[in-house]
Amino acid sequence: MTTATAAPAAKNNVAVAVMTSLAASSIEWYDFFIYGTAAALVFPQLFFPKDMPPFVALIASFSTVAVGFVARPVGGVVFGHYGDRIGRKRALVLAMMIMGLATTGVGLMPGYATLGVAAPLILIVLRFAQGFAVGGQWGGAALVAIESAPADRRGFYGSFAQMGVPAGVILSNMIFLVMGAVMPKEDFAAWGWRIPFLISVLLVLLGLYVQLKLEDTADYQALQALEAEKQAAAAKALASEKGISLDKAAALLRAEQTSPILRVIARHPKEILLAAGSFVAANGTFYIMIIYAVAYVTKTLHVDKSMVLWAVIAGTVVSAPVLPLTAALSDRFGRRGVFLAGAVLAFIWSWPFFMLLNAGTFPMMALAMAGGLAFNSVMYGLQAAMMTEMFSTEFRYSGASLGYQIGAILGGGLAPILSAALFEKFGSTSAISAYMAALCAISFLSVLVLTETHKRELRRKG
């Protein structure tokens, strides 16, 4: 192949990888988010006893949401191991399949009136499967994009995996709005809410497409070729030294290999913890805005749910372009400076967010969401590139996934529950604003300690 024909082919491969990453993360996050929306609007009445006090039912419903976050580090560990061992593509496909089947299962579930106490227990199992899948999906989608990208545009291309989040938010809220608009409330509560969950079968079809059409990343293929050469040379030397067959020597060497997750924990514990700390603000404040705020506005301020869902959509539409824009800026000026600016802005916005929300009007709620989600996106857009650049190819899936998912459980997993508990205790949203600000401070300090990564060579060893 000539250079002239190779260049367009390489560009096409990058474009396919990036679009696949965007599509996979969009549908996967759609599945994850529709659960959160349903947990705020439907599940308290459907999957828990009718005589349970509304606040207790809401906390119980949000607790099942948190189970998904508990499962995410588990998924990050398991999929990180196999993503580093068998390839980014295969791990991503498996994660998509599990998510699609689990979400469809939620849509098919009978309620408490039919199953009794088994209903919330089965719901917890399916939510765990969702979290397990999304814990593996993020690393696969991010690495498919970033390891296929030019070195000077990793932040920009990595932001497409992150753009699955606003796409998922818009899709999940739009489907609930459409369902609520075209059918009576009684029908929506009885069966209409199931339709958004059943649509997730599309994720299974996308997984099949990725398996058949997408090649693994160039970085991973290069690593595999290098490792194969090293293993062959080591097996030959061991066979000669021990007087055994080449196959037996190769088997002995494979048995001695340690898990990628164990290697990255042993070599880079500080980086994993700092990666987790860097993520608590973007993740925690995000789930306060799109899950807790929906419940707060509808249950406490008694605003119609369609108004707050439209406010979330409006804020997401405004904030979505911030992801690639600020990620591209981080390619030019560095990850740390852009991230720290986002953390400061999100810190400041913690108080105006609820002040605007408490006005109870659509323009004020939309402004609250637009500002909060935009400042959140300044941090989140470059996060995929920053985290993957912290680890070398042989355990990048494991290291980045573990840092991301630990940050998710510490940030977003507890955010709706703690927010509800804080409001119940203090009777004011000021305590929740202080909580949001504290999350931003933790992420600011974590990234302040990190060294700059945007010019780091991705294929370095160790």
Whether 240 maps to a domain, the answer reads: no
Q: 85-88 long-range CB contacts below 8 Å, 24 or more apart?
A: 85/260, 87/216, 87/220, 87/224, 88/139, 88/140, 88/143, 88/144, 88/147, 88/216, 88/217, 88/220, 88/397
- What pLDDT band is residue 237 in, cutting at 50, 70 and 90? low
Mean pLDDT for 352-364 is: 94
- Using left for φ > 0, alpha for ψ between -120 and 50, and beta otherwise, residue 360 falls in left
- The least confident of 125-139, 211-225, 338-352 is 211-225
Residue ranges making up the domain that contains 300: 12-217+258-449
Whether 243 maps to a domain, the answer reads: no
Q: Tell me: the pLDDT tens digits for 38-83? A: 887 788 888 888 877 777 877 788 788 778 878 878 888 888 777 7
State the CATH number of the domain containing residue 176. Answer: 1.20.1250.20
Mean pLDDT for 299-320 is: 90
Separation CA 241–CA 244 (nearest Å) = 8
Whether 2 maps to a domain, the answer reads: no
Looking at the chain, the whole-number percentage of residues with pLDDT higher than 70 is 85
Asked whether the whole model's pTM tops 0.75, one would answer yes
Separation CA 220–CA 142 (nearest Å) = 13
Whether 252 maps to a domain, the answer reads: no
Whether 153 maps to a domain, the answer reads: yes
Give 154's Cβ-side CA count (13 Å radius). Answer: 25
pLDDT at 353 over 60: yes
Whether 356 maps to a domain, the answer reads: yes
pLDDT at 6 over 50: no
pLDDT at 320 over 80: yes
* Per-residue model confidence (pLDDT) at position 246: 64
Mean pLDDT for 159-171 is: 86
Mean pLDDT for 77-90 is: 78
- The least confident of 8-17, 156-165, 198-207 is 8-17
Count of the separate structural domains present in the chain: 1
Whether 37 maps to a domain, the answer reads: yes
Contacts of 234 (CB under 8 A, 6+ apart): 253
Q: Tell me: the pLDDT tens digits for 438-461? A: 999 999 999 999 888 777 766 544
pLDDT at 224 over 60: no
Whether 247 maps to a domain, the answer reads: no
- The least confident of 12-21, 25-34, 78-87, 239-248 is 239-248
- What pLDDT band is residue 1 in, cutting at 50, 70 and 90? very low
Separation CA 127–CA 261 (nearest Å) = 24
- What pLDDT band is residue 213 in, cutting at 50, 70 and 90? low
* Per-residue model confidence (pLDDT) at position 134: 81
